[in-house]
Amino acid sequence: MIIKGMEYFLFIAAAFISYCLGRLGHVFGGQINGPHHWLYGIPMIIVGIIFWKSIWGKILVAAGIGCMISDFNDMIQFKIYGVDDVEVKRFWGLD
């Protein structure tokens, strides 16, 4: 059994790591014509909600949230497929 404080830490760590991976994908793979990475967060959140009682379900929800936040601007504009048309690619941000 995982202590409640450790569960919160894992949730925040999974969201942060997922955010960082999404930003790395945006910076290094933004020129690739493909699906935007906020879409990967949707199935992670859905599966995580299904298995919410286990720690893996909570980690999946956190990872899905981090992935969607890292590509927040494209999610708001509902960009599904294409190249990221950002001139200056920053690691920290919500492009």
* pLDDT tens-place string over residues 34-89: 888 889 999 999 999 999 999 899 999 999 999 999 888 888 999 888 888 777 77
Domain that includes residue 17, residue range: 4-82
**Residue 26 belongs to a domain:** yes
- Report how many domains make up the chain: 1
Looking at residue 94, its amino acid is: L
Q: Is the pLDDT of residue 3 over 80?
A: no
pLDDT of residue 19: 94
Measured on CA atoms in the order 36, 16, 65, 7, is the torsion positive or negative?
positive
**Residue 21 belongs to a domain:** yes
pLDDT of residue 64: 96
pLDDT of residue 56: 93
Q: Name the nearest CA neighbour of 35 among 69, 65, 78, 92.
A: 78
The predicted model gives 5-16 an average pLDDT of: 92
pTM of this structure: 0.85
**Residue 92 belongs to a domain:** no
**Residue 90 belongs to a domain:** no
The values of phi and psi at residue 22, to 5°, are -65, -40
